[in-house]
C-alpha cells in the first residue's frame, strides 16, 4: 500500500489505565459504522503523550481492526483524541489524490477483506500485522472517479436503508394483522 504516508499500530506493551482521561482504542472500538466509545479504556496524560509518539490518529486517517475480527475499518472523527493498543492499526493516506471515503469503502470490499483474511496470522485468534496491511493490493482510479464511486455507494446504501425500514414496517404491520385476526377468532 504505497498510497500511505504512515501505517502503524498502537502500543504493544500494556499501558497504564485510568478511570478517566484520554481514549485508548482497541479492535473492539473499530467498526465499519465508526469508532464506538461505549466500552472504551482510558489512559492518563503522560501515557497518552507517550503512545501518540508512535501512533497519532487524526481526522483523515483510517483505523483497521487487527486482532480477532480483522478488517473492520473506521474513519477517525476527531483530531488528537485517541491513543491505541496493538489490536488496531492506523493508515494515513498521502495527500489529495486519494479520497479517504473511497479508501474506506475499498478496504471494506469483499476483495480486500479476503486479502486481509488470507494475510492474517491465525493462532488462538486472527492477527493482521503491519506487513500484511502494507502489502494489500488496491486499485486507485483518478480522484473524479473515486468521487463518483463513493457517491454511487452512498446512494445504494441509502436505498438499502430505506428498503430495510420498509421491510421492518411491513413485518410490524403483518404481526399486528396476525394479532388482530387471532383476537377475532378467539373472541
Residue 117 sits at φ, ψ, to 5 deg, of -65, -45
- Nearest CA-CA partner of 41 in 73, 71, 11: 11
Q: Which three cell numbers stand for residue 30?
A: 473499530
pLDDT tens, 99-122? Answer: 999 999 999 999 999 999 988 887
pTM of the model as a whole: 0.84
pLDDT tens, 58-97? Answer: 999 999 999 988 999 999 999 989 999 999 999 999 878 8
Q: Is the domain defined by 4-140 classed in CATH 2.40.280.10?
A: no
Query: End-to-end alpha-carbon separation of the chain, Å?
Result: 68
Residue 20 sits at φ, ψ, to 5 deg, of -150, 175
CA atoms within 13 A on the CB side of 154: 9
Amino acid at each position: 500500500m504505497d498510497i500511505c504516508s504512515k501505517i502503524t499500530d498502537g502500543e504493544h506493551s500494556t499501558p497504564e489505565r485510568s478511570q478517566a482521561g484520554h481514549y485508548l482504542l482497541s479492535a473492539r472500538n473499530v467498526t465499519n459504522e465508526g469508532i464506538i466509545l461505549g466500552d472504551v479504556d482510558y489512559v492518563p496524560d503522560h501515557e497518552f503523550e507517550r503512545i501518540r509518539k508512535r501512533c497519532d490518529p487524526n481526522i483523515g486517517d483510517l483505523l483497521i481492526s487487527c486482532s480477532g475480527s480483522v478488517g473492520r475499518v473506521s474513519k477517525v472523527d476527531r483530531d488528537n483524541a485517541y491513543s491505541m493498543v496493538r489490536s488496531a492499526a492506523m493508515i494515513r493516506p498521502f495527500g489529495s489524490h486519494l479520497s479517504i471515503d473511497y479508501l474506506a469503502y475499498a478496504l471494506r470490499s469483499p476483495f480486500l477483506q479476503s486479502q486481509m483474511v488470507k494475510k492474517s496470522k491465525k493462532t488462538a485468534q486472527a492477527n493482521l500485522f503491519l506487513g500484511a496491511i502494507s502489502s494489500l493490493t488496491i486499485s486507485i482510479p483518478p480522484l473524479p472517479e473515486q468521487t463518483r464511486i463513493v457517491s454511487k455507494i452512498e446512494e445504494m446504501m441509502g436505498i438499502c436503508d430505506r428498503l430495510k425500514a420498509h421491510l421492518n414496517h411491513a413485518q410490524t404491520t403483518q404481526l399486528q394483522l396476525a394479532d388482530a385476526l387471532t383476537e377475532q377468532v378467539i373472541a
